[in-house]
């Protein structure tokens, strides 16, 4: 009997396809770091430890040793000591906040002699492990109030500490774990509200400079969107056409009244009319909640009220809460400012570098923009511009295809887990890698604000490479032992 169990336990194998992709990525990243940091006047070998590529090679070697060690550790170790890792991680974040010196505008690095470590990078896999442990508790239900509070606190506590270190980009990575919660039972409506909030904020800020009476153009558009969203939610959750028609009808009636007044040469305040329409919809939803005593109408009413409050607070948050450099980055991304010498310089030069690569690129070490150091941070956060310039459209597309295959493979591994612990951690890994990929490339090509997060396995840095390696190989070890269940 015991022999049979042992034979079953030994059947697990490391997913060598994913390991092969990992090795391919770090080697490609090493070549691109060398290309991005190559100095025409003081050229050094790729193996010279005085150069970026040489140091990255050192980090690659230690990462491979880490990977080997992680694969050898028993799977139960990760679940057993997840709480200890979380406590230690939080302690390191607090210590960093107290003792760290300011480097490039943030206080997120612990400097020990020649070694610099960023604890926030390691919190990514620690939070994922902690979530997996919590979800693996017998009869755990995410939507129970106590459990939802615990899970939210596990993510928000390190997020707040990292924000206080002025590492907003890394903090946003933690929020990507909401996709794990969605996979494990978080209602799609909550995810929708998050997307709606982003849309409201962008519209309210982007079109805030033109007024339509009591509201700016951005606020006017968002009020209309709120009404449309409310009608869509009624249709989705209640399936009553007459209620949907009534909500849309109230808005159209107010619009018709406004048009009639306009044609009668009576001054019309478009902003006021939009507010009247929104108010009538809110009153109608309140009436339905009281008449039918259905919570769903009350929830939609709260969505309407909360959405409007969020829209009205967006401009205040943008002007009073965000730092000036953060405001400028958002303005540049939204096309409100050019600022090619300031906040928009990074993105502007990055676009020039990528565009100059053409279809097939200029070739290895032949990129003029990167060799002449026009692009700041070109071997860290903006490493993709080196790929675009030297490898061209074809090479850049190939890298994106490889990352897409990598992400899809991780999703496959997550879905085949036989324990909740393995599945939840797997989706945590997917969420973090996907967020890094989309945001990093998005900011390099100018469709997202510059928030300073690395491209996995390609950007220079020991902390990020160690963090991504640990994140991935813990999952591969969990996948290797999945048949033990």
pLDDT averaged per 10 residues, the chain (length 485): 37 87 96 85 79 91 95 92 94 89 76 78 94 90 89 93 86 91 86 88 86 84 92 88 88 84 77 89 91 88 93 87 77 69 68 84 80 74 90 94 97 93 96 94 84 89 91 95 64
446: left (phi over 0), alpha (psi -120 to 50) or beta: left
Q: What's the angle, vertex CA 31, arms to CA 29 and CA 37, rounded to 5?
A: 95
| Measured torsion, CA atoms of residues 149, 155, 157, 162, in degrees rounded to the nearest 10 | -160
Task: Classify 355 in phi/psi space as left (phi over 0), alpha (psi -120 to 50) or beta.
Answer: alpha
- Residue 157's alpha-carbon distances to 62, 143, 154, in angstroms, are 30, 20, 6
Judge whether 402 and 343 are in contact, CB under 8 Å: no
Residues 6+ apart with CB under 8 A from 61: none
Strands 211-212 and 115-117: unpaired
CA 51, 55, 59: angle at the middle one, nearest 5?
A: 165
Q: What's the rounded Cα separation, in Å, for the pair 154 and 127?
A: 7
> How distant is the alpha carbon of residue 303 from its chain centre?
24
Q: How many CB atoms lie within 10 A of CB 314?
A: 21
CA atoms within 13 A on the CB side of 457: 22
Give the H or E element holding residue 95: helix 82-99
Q: How far is CA 347 from the centre of its chain?
A: 19
Find the length of the chain.
Answer: 485
DSSP 448: S
pLDDT of residue 10: 39
**Cα–Cα distance for residue pair 286/278, rounded to 1 Å:** 12
> Which residues partner with 174 through β-bridges?
none
How far, in Å, CA of 2 to CA of 223, rounded? 66
List the one residue out of 180, 230, 181, 84 whose CA is nearest residue 431. 180
């Amino acid at each position: 009997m015991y022999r049979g169990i042992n034979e079953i336990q030994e059947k697990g194998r490391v997913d060598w396809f994913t390991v092969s992709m990992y090795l391919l990525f770090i080697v490609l990243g090493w070549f691109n770091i060398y290309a991005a940091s190559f100095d025409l006047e003081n050229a050094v070998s790729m193996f010279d430890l005085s150069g970026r590529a040489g140091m990255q090679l050192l980090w690659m070697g230690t990462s491979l040793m880490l990977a080997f060690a992680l694969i050898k550790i028993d799977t139960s170790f990760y679940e057993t000591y997840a709480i200890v890792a979380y406590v230690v991680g939080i302690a390191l974040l607090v210590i960093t906040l107290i003792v760290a010196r300011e480097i490039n505008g943030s206080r997120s690095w612990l400097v020990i002699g020649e070694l610099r470590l960023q604890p926030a990078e390691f919190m990514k896999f620690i939070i994922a492990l902690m979530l997996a442990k919590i979800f693996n508790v017998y009869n755990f239900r995410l939507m129970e109030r106590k459990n939802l509070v615990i899970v939210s606190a596990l993510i928000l506590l390190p997020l707040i500490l990292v924000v206080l270190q002025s590492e907003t980009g890394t903090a946003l990575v933690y929020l990507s774990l909401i996709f794990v919660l969605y996979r494990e039972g978080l209602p799609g409506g909550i995810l929708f509200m998050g997307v709606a909030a982003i849309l409201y904020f962008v519209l309210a800020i982007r079109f805030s400079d033109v007024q339509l009476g009591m509201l700016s153009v951005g606020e006017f558009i968002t009020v209309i969107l709120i009404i449309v969203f409310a009608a869509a939610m009624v249709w989705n959750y209640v399936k009553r056409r007459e209620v949907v028609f009534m909500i849309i009808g109230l808005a159209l009636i107010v619009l018709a009244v406004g048009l009639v007044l306009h044609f009668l040469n009576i001054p019309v305040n478009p902003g006021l009319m939009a507010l009247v329409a929104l108010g009538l919809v809110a009153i109608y939803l309140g009436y339905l909640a009281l008449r039918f005593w259905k919570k769903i109408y009350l929830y939609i009413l709260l969505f309407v009220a909360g959405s409007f409050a969020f829209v009205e607070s967006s401009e205040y948050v943008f002007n009073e809460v965000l730092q000036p450099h953060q405001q400028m980055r958002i303005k540049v991304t939204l096309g409100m400012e050019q600022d090619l010498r300031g906040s928009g310089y990074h993105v502007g030069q990055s676009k020039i570098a990528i565009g100059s690569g053409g279809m097939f690129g200029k070739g290895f070490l032949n990129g003029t923009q990167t060799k002449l150091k026009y692009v700041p941070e070109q071997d860290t956060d903006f490493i993709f511009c080196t790929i675009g310039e030297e490898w061209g459209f074809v090479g850049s597309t190939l890298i994106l295809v490889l990352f897409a295959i990598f992400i899809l493979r991780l999703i496959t591994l997550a879905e085949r887990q036989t324990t909740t612990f393995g599945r939840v951690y797997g989706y945590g890994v997917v969420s973090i890698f996907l967020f890094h990929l989309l945001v990093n490339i998005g900011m390099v090509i100018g469709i997202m604000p510059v928030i300073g997060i690395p491209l996995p396995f390609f950007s220079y840095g020991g902390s990020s490479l160690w963090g991504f390696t640990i994140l991935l190989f813990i999952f591969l070890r969990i996948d290797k032992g999945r048949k033990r269940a």
